[in-house]
Amino acid sequence: MRRRLLSPLLMFGLAVAFPAAIATQAPQETIDKDINAKIRKEGWDHSQIMRTMHFLTDVHGPRLTGSPNHENAAKWAVQQMEQWGFKNGKLEPWDFGRAGWLNEKASGHILSPVKDNLVFEVLAWTPSTKGTVTAEGVHLITPLGPVVDAPIAADVTGRGGAGRGNVPQRLGPTEDELNAYFKSIEVKVRGGIVFVGAHTQVAFQEAPPAKRRDDEQVKAQFNPDPNAAPGGAGRGGRGGNAPGAGRGGQAAPLAGPARLTGAEVATRVNAFLMTAGAGVRVNDAAREHGQIRAFNYSAYDTTKTVPTVVLRNEDYGRITRIMADGTPVRLEFTLVNRDYPEGRTSYNAIAEIPGTDKADEVVMLGGHLDSWHSATGATDNAAGSAIMIEAARILQAIGVKPRRTIRVALWGGEEQGLLGSRAYVAAHFGSAEDPLPEFSKFNGYFNIDSGTGRVRGMSVFGPPEAARIVATYLKEFEDFGVYGATASASRAAGGTDSTVFNAAGIPGIGASQDPMEYNSHTWHTNLDTYERIVEDDVKKSAIAVASAVYHIAMREQMLPRFDKAAMPAAPGTGRGGGAPNQ
């Protein structure tokens, strides 16, 4: 999952909510109670979901896009679904546009004044060390400019510009100030192990985040009060342009020499480390309790940066404090990374349960299969992939004959920008403005991408009728804590793959889930492993999704969609549409 707010439903630009409890006020949908009973029995008594989790995480994780691990996980998923009787299994290629990358070995130690192991992760798309690098630590903290307490522009601070109000902020250095600093430490940096940036003091949390959402809170989110304002539980708009609306004042011009932005400083630091010949760069993980999030070097090119690790906050603080005492700290790192040129072609994993009399119409379900590399990518997003594989497996196992084709899709490249799902939607459906033949036959895409927590509701891109229909199916699982569906009119793509379908003008259906430890512990961290999966929750989610998918596949009519006249504008057209959630 890419960067997002806590709950997917809060970021989709909600319009109207339909709790399962009042869904019966809408025209009645046909519910197959016998099939639901079979779905529940298969999902509880013969579940394969934890076995699927094992293979996606323990055997094939981490699944970084472009790496052999990701390709092997995709192949395994297709082969397994075919063994269960799915048809038309395949890896559908798309252009990643860059070589794949994988860390193969990594070790680091303090050699003096004490001896100890270091806990870290390697930044993706950075090079190997030349053997073992042994050197003294160097602390690089770039100079800063003066403090200002007026609204300032983005090109001064690099932190988003005006919109922070009159909060004091520190400006960046001038070009001359930064170059003078680089010159003062250049000799130390050559061949050294360079700690970049001040140590982060992670704030203590008196009360940890809740792992479960309160039922009443979830019901309120789905707007059970018929007199409540539509969309009251969503993000809403940006508000007006009135002064004092929380966006800060107008950026004021600054006197004096030009100041570098944060992004400009970062670019210059990278170039300096390259030209000075730094042996290893060390970044602070800046998270509590040994959590590490390691993403990637922005250029995805190992020839344009130095070997880089993300060190746990506790080790980073310890070492930089010792250096601040004036005591030299000697360290060593050995990093073995590999580029995979063949990773320029990545894949989406596809398999189907063919339909019958409406086989040319498709209902899809899936999640992104790729992960980051600090752990085995269990909650993000092997869980989502396994839930959707299991939902379809349940239907196959109980022998349903869906009228519409049910298609599972496991995406690559989500973490790098929803790349796999973007390529798939462009190739198969086009958009409302430029539709392909399959566009008119599409009946919805169900997506899970928020960890192990049970599904609590869903967001449906489409008119209110579409959300009412999905809410009716979800009503059958109130005992699982599922409380409704919401209608969304936002075509802003971002955060997760269902929004790519929304952006094209076709129904993306995203799940909201209990947070569990997702944002607090596992999301993109070195703790995201099989052990963090709550078996009861993922089983419940698979059962609920299986039923909803089945019933949409069996309806006489397609899931209602926006017609041409009602279709919300695509983002950037100047005619409205939802606000981006990035």
Q: What is the pLDDT of residues 307-333, one digit of tens each?
A: 999 999 999 999 999 999 999 999 999
**Rounded distance between C-alpha atoms, residue 225 and residue 220, angstroms:** 8
Residue-level pLDDT at 264:
97
Residue-level pLDDT at 253:
55
Q: List Cα–Cα distances, 160 to 97, 180, 262, 539, 572, in angstroms.
A: 29, 27, 10, 42, 20
In the structure, what pLDDT confidence band is assigned to residue 238 with cuts at 50, 70 and 90? very low
Residue-level pLDDT at 241:
34
Q: Which CATH number fits domain 114-201+257-328: 1.10.3470, 3.50.30, 3.30.70, 3.40.50?
A: 3.50.30
Q: Give which of 301, 247, 235 is closest to 274, Cα–Cα.
A: 301
pTM for the model: 0.89
Contact 483, 421 (CB under 8 A): no
Residue-level pLDDT at 149:
76
Lowest mean pLDDT, pick from 15-29, 182-196, 294-308, 361-375:
15-29
Task: Report DSSP state, residue 302.
Answer: G
Domain boundaries, the chain: 8-97+343-554, 114-201+257-328
Query: pLDDT at residue 2 above 70?
Result: no
- For residue 132, the one-letter residue type is T
Residue-level pLDDT at 248:
41
SS3 state at 318? helix
Instruction: Return the percentage of the chain with pLDDT > 70, whole number.
Output: 85
Q: Give which of 294, 282, 204, 199 is closest to 525, Cα–Cα.
A: 294
pLDDT digits (tens, 9 = 90+) for 339-372: 999 999 999 999 999 999 999 999 999 999 999 9
Backbone angles phi, psi at 184, to 5 degrees: -70, -20
Task: Report DSSP state, residue 58.
Answer: I
Strand partners, 484: 19
Structure tokens at 452: 């192990």
**Residue of 215 and 44 predicted with greater confidence:** 44
Query: pLDDT at residue 302 above 70?
Result: yes
Domain 8-97+343-554 coded CATH 3.40.50.720: no
The Cβ of residue 50 has, within 10 Å, a number of other Cβ atoms equal to 14
**Residue of 400 and 162 predicted with greater confidence:** 400
Domains 8-97+343-554 and 114-201+257-328 share a fold: no
